[in-house]
Every structure is written in C-alpha cells, then in structure tokens.
Homo-oligomer: A and B are copies of this chain.
C-alpha cells in the first residue's frame, strides 16, 4: 500500500511536471508574458485534475491545496524559460512531454476516481478528462480548436489507459502497480506511434475547413 502510494505520488508529480513544461513551451511560443507562462503551465498541469476533483467531491482540489504541485509547475515554467534552448533542441519536445503527461494523468485520474468509490464509467471518463482537460484548457486559453479534437490518436490513447486501469481493478489478475505500468506503457507507445506514423482516426467531412493554428 505504501509502495503504491509512493508510486502514485511519483506519477502525479511527474505528470504535473511534464504537462507544465508542455504548457509553458506553448505559452512561450505564443509570446505570453512571465505570468501568462506560469498560468498556462499551471493550468495544463492541474486543470484536468481540478475538474476531476470537483466531479468526485475531493474538495478542495489537490491541484489547489498541495504545495508541491504548485512548486513543480513553477519549476517547470522557470526551466522552460531559462533553459529553452535545451528544451527546444529535444525532438519535438512539446509533443513528447505531452504524450508522457497524457499517459500518467489518464492512469492516476482513473485510479483516484476508483479510490473515491465511483463506478468504472466515472473512472474512465475522469481518467480521460484528467489527461486531456489541461490540454483542452490550454488550447481554449490560446484561442484555438483543441488539437485533440482534430487529429491523431490522443484522447483515445488516454481512453485505452483508463480502460486498462478500470478493467484491471475489476479482474485483479495483477497488482495495481503492474496494471498502472502496463496502462502507462500502452498509452505512451500508442501516442508515440501515432505521432511517428501520422496515425489518425477517420474524419468524415469532405469540406474540411482550413484549421486556424
């Protein structure tokens, strides 16, 4: 149990960190000021989790209450500002960090909903919302159609991770740690493969408008 909780907190912090970097990088590219970069970094990092906590009745939301989330988001934002040449030289850093955070948050989001006694559907939906909510809020703040709605396997990877967590908790063949590791790996791999090979879900409109970037 202790081990699980340590693992759980580690996942949560790691997810917070990589999402904050992805948010800070997007805000920096858009030319926001120092405070705007912090806000977007913090929103991407904690926004999905705050929506989840409000929906499961975890008041006040962990993203607001816990000092190390805030500090982690701040450190990530400072790192992105101060060490941007390094962050930038990594291969498509925003997309990579985004995929890691996506996997981590889908798993921890579904786990937390289950641990509050809610049913599997709530856990799957809130796993997805924890994972993609911050990114959707980022795109809304930066005034663009959320990238997850238009292309590539993104929220569907989070869906797979959350489903694995929920099914695993019902079937109980493996420990929760192993289920989490499997869910993480599958989701991250799926997302990176989708990016690498430009996998997309089918879209159905012939009159697709030019999307505003």
Query: B-contacting residues of A (Cβ < 8 Å)?
Result: 27-37, 39-40, 50, 54-57, 59-61, 64-67, 70, 81, 84, 113, 118-119, 121-122, 125-126, 136, 140-146, 148-156, 200-205, 207-209, 211-212
Partner of A141, one of B34, B149, B152: B149
Chain B residues closer than 8 Å to A207, beta-carbon distance = 29, 31
Integer count of this chain's copies in the complex: 3
Q: Tell me, in angstroms, the Cα distance from A157 to B90 when the chains sit together.
A: 35
The reply to whether B205 and A28 form a contact with Cβ atoms under 8 Å apart is yes
What 5 A-B pairs come out closest when comparing CB atoms?
A: A31-B208, A36-B149, A57-B59, A33-B201, A34-B201
A149: chain B residues within 8 A (beta carbon): 27, 32-33, 35-36, 39-40, 141
Find out whether the CB atom of B59 lies under 8 angstroms from the CB atom of A60. Answer: no
Say yes or no: A59 contacts B56, CB within 8 Å.
yes
Which residues of the other chain, B, contact A144 by a CB distance below 8 angstroms?
Answer: 143
CB neighbours of A28 from chain B (8 A) = 204-205
Determine how close the nearest CB of chain B comes to the CB of A20; give it in whole angstroms: 15
A66: chain B residues within 8 A (beta carbon): 121
User: What are the residues of chain B within 8 A of A64 when measuring CB–CB?
Assistant: 55, 121-122, 125-126
Tell me whether A150 and B65 are in contact in the complex, defined as CB-CB below 8 angstroms, given that A143-B144, A145-B141 are known contacts: no
A141 touches B136 (CB 8 A): yes
Chain B residues lying within 8 Å of A208, measured Cβ to Cβ, are: 30-31
Which chain B residue shows the least CB distance to A61? B55
A122 to B118 Cα, complex, angstroms: 25
